[in-house]
Structure 1
Amino acid sequence: MGDPFFTSNIYPLLFMIIVGVILFKFFKGVVQWRHNNKQPILTVNSKVVSKRTKTSRQMHNFRDNQHHHAINDFYATFEVENGERLELLLTGKEYRELEEGDIGKLTFQGTRYHNFERMTEV
């Protein structure tokens, strides 16, 4: 049947690992949020050099009915005047409004995206 010591101790260990990962991600997010709040809001000339999405799949089991859904994170990489590149998380609407190659004014705070104002050609 298997080792009773192993089977009786594996579930609490798995639970502690899962709780540990959740707590780590939560505290990492809080630290990043606090760091961003301390940064100045900057507006710089920039260019959209790339866009990407990251899809995570989640499954929920409700009374033997499995529900699957995907969560999309949207990112854009901007190249600023000094050549530095910043990859920032955007909403889906913001992501769809940008095109690779767009040039304009990027407003951000630390790793937090605020706005991109496209320069219109004259």
Structure 2
Amino acid sequence: MGMNGFGPSFGPPPIFTFFFFLIAAVIAGTFLFIVVRGLRTWSSNNAAEPETRSCKVAAKRTEVWGGSGDSSANTSYFITFEFHDGSRKELPVRGADYGMIAEGDYGIVTFQGTRFKHFDRGIPQ
């Protein structure tokens, strides 16, 4: 007789059940971590005062991710702005903004925390 008293007991061995729940907990924990981190960044950006500073476009870069099998690749765009005091700030930008701004451009950038707002090309200062 099985453990339940009604004959042989069928079902997955306890080790499989343990690993199933362990993997589910890891996936749920990772998802929760990503959501909390995103909300924290969003909240921090909203709390920051918008800044407008004179700058030079020091560098541009892209980051391509995904794209295996039937899924398409995604591209993230970044621009590094250098300020008169020598400090730099890299900001993620939309593809349209990335295409309109060239390395070496001088102008005025507006950003809020890590959120790019606008770039006005101007005369070197």
TM-score by length of 2: 0.80
Q: How does 1:84-103 map to 2 (within 5 A)?
A: 84-103=87-106
Structure 2: distance between partners of 1:99 and 1:91: 14
Structure 2: distance between partners of 1:88 and 1:118: 16
In structure 2, runs of 5+ residues without a counterpart are: 1-12
State how many pairs are aligned.
Answer: 112
Larger Rg: 2
**Structure 2 counterpart of 1:81, from 81, 84, 98:** 84
**Structure 2 counterpart of 1:35, from 41, 44, 51:** 44
Residues 120 and 82 (structure 1), Cα distance of their counterparts in 2 relative to 1, 3 Å cut: closer
In structure 2, the partner of 1:22 is 31
CA drift of 1:7 comes to 3.5
**Structure 2 counterpart of 1:116, from 112, 119, 125:** 119
- The structure with the greater share of residues assigned to strand is 1
CA drift of 1:82 comes to 1.7
In structure 1, give the amino acid aligned to 2:95: G
TM-score by length of 1: 0.82
Residues 104 and 33 (structure 1), Cα distance of their counterparts in 2 relative to 1, 3 Å cut: same
CA drift of 1:43 comes to 0.7
Matched, 1:53 2:59: no
Tell me the secondary structure at the aligned position of residue 82 of structure 1.
coil
Q: Percent same amino acid among aligned pairs?
A: 34
Structure 2: distance between partners of 1:86 and 1:53: 15
**Structure 2 counterpart of 1:107, from 104, 110, 113:** 110
In structure 1, give the amino acid aligned to 2:107: G
Q: Which protein has greater RCO, CA pairs closer than 8 Å, 6+ apart?
A: 1
In structure 1, runs of 5+ residues without a counterpart are: 60-65
Q: What is the alpha-carbon root mean square deviation over aligned residues?
A: 1.7
